[in-house]
Structures are given as C-alpha cells and as structure tokens.
Amino acid sequence: MSFDRRKIRTGRVVSNKMEKTIVVQLESRYVHRLYRKAVKTRSNIKVHDPENLCKVGDLVKVMESRPMSKHKNWLLKEVVLESSEPI
C-alpha cells in the first residue's frame, strides 16, 4: 500500500493510559437527509504511539496502517497542537 493512499484523520487524544497506545476521538458532521439538521458523530480509535509522546487533550494527526493488534490499526503521524492543561 502506498503512503499517499492511506487515510489521514485529525482528532483529540482522550486516553493515554496504555503502553504505546492512545485512544483518539474522531468527530464528523453530516446533514440529516430528512430533517436537514447538522448531526455530529464521534468514534474512538486506538492509535500506535511508539514513544508515548501524547497527552490527554492533544490534537493529533493519525494515519491508517497495517493491523498491529486486534483493535489497533492506526499510527501516530504528528502532534498538531499540544494541550496546555497539566493532568
């Protein structure tokens, strides 16, 4: 698989309690087809963070990769914005 065809998403870190793994919340919006109202959906994905760089609240870019475990098939690409609040 070529690197340019992999999905890249941006989301917030909601958990970093696992070793080398973070949980990122992705948010998307769409317009309801009947009621024409904007609807927000959220999904949580597990992301491989090899150096344990991320903290809760960071804005990160993640890239699709091969499966690394049962639920983890995303890789941390970069930390876009670090959270200013200490844990």
The answer to whether residue 85 scores a pLDDT higher than 80 is no
Residue 22 is part of which domain span? 3-81
Phi and psi based region of residue 3 (left: phi greater than 0; alpha: psi -120 to 50; beta: remaining): alpha
Q: What is the residue type of 48?
A: H
Asked whether residue 86 is assigned to any structural domain, the reply reads no
**Number of domains making up the chain:** 1
Asked whether residue 87 is assigned to any structural domain, the reply reads no
Q: What is the mean pLDDT of residues 71-78?
A: 96
Per-residue pLDDT of 4-32, as tens digits, reads: 789 999 999 999 999 999 999 999 999 99
Query: Mean of the per-residue pLDDT values for the chain?
Result: 93
What pLDDT sits at residue 31? Answer: 98
What pLDDT sits at residue 40? Answer: 97
CATH number at residue 71: 2.40.50.140
**What is the pTM (predicted TM-score) of this model?**
0.87
